[in-house]
A and B are shown apart, each in its own frame.
Chain A
Amino acid sequence: DQQVKQNSPSLSVQEGRISILNCDYTNSMFDYFLWYKKYPAEGPTFLISISSIKDKNEDGRFTVFLNKSAKHLSLHIVPSQPGDSAVYFCAASWVSGGSNYKLTFGKGTLLTVNP
């Protein structure tokens, strides 16, 4: 059962334009969401996160939007740069008994930013 879903395996965007990566989740217990970027042969790199008490969080070119009623979040990258080309993973977690913070990941979306 895939609790975090990234339905677009790939996305291609022109340099300077906006990239929008989407993520859906099914577990209503999730209360914290994160985006990671991964280059080949490297581990995932943390990008940005959002708590379920917020609907938007912004950090430079990266903005994450959360729609709790739709169980949907998105990552916006503006403007997109060729160096942003990577696999982007959506992840979610929840406080369970105050001790468990494991992350549940989607399958990832390969973003290609063309010069």
Chain B
Amino acid sequence: DTGVSQDPRHKITKRGQNVTFRCDPISEHNRLYWYRQTLGQGPEFLTYFQNEAQLEKSRLLSDRFSAERPKGSFSTLEIQRTEQGDSAMYLCASSLAGTGTHNEQFFGPGTRLTVL
């Protein structure tokens, strides 16, 4: 399977615990995105990497959230001291684009987080 993969698919945690999600993009894609989707809403942008550089973070990404993409390959999204409001589907997407070109982003299956 050469699509975007995410692990785990589901995570149930207790409030206050830390969680980490992993995303493996399509191998030749240089851009990687994290989105969050809550019930009845469309995906909302969280952050974006070009290779290993994190180029933009949404104001939705509080200080409890951190994302990395070491070596420009897979990425991790960590949430510290989880809150019930963090319960959502966390989606990862990747794309391949050059300067000045638009891109279609290809999404993974998502990680559904439930904070009890």
Contact = CB atoms under 8 A, between A and B. Distances in A.
B104 A34 contact: yes
Given A41-B109, A43-B4, A43-B110, A101 B42 contact: no
Nearest to A102: B45
Contact of B55 (A4, A42, A99, A106): A99
Interface string A97-113: 01111111111100000
Interface in B83-116: 91, 93, 95, 97, 99-100, 102-110
A89 interface: yes
Contacts, number: 65
B91 A46 contact: no
B56 A100 contact: yes
A43 B102 contact: no
Nearest to A100: B56
A45 interface: yes
A91 interface: yes
Contact of B31 (A43, A91, A101): A101
Nearest to B92: A43
A100 B33 CA distance: 11
B108 to A, nearest CB: 5
A85 interface: no
A98 B106 CA distance: 20
Interface in A33-71: 34, 36, 41-46, 49, 51
A114 interface: no
Contacts of B40: 107
B109 A107 contact: no
11 contacts: A34-B104, A42-B109, A43-B91, A43-B108, A46-B105, A46-B107, A101-B95, A103-B33, A104-B45, A105-B42, A106-B42
Interface of A: 4, 31-32, 34, 36, 41-46, 49, 51, 89, 91, 93, 95, 98-108
Interface of B: 4, 6, 31, 33, 35, 40-45, 48, 50, 55-56, 91, 93, 95, 97, 99-100, 102-110
Name the 3 nearest CB pairs between A and B, nearest first: A105-B42, A43-B107, A32-B102
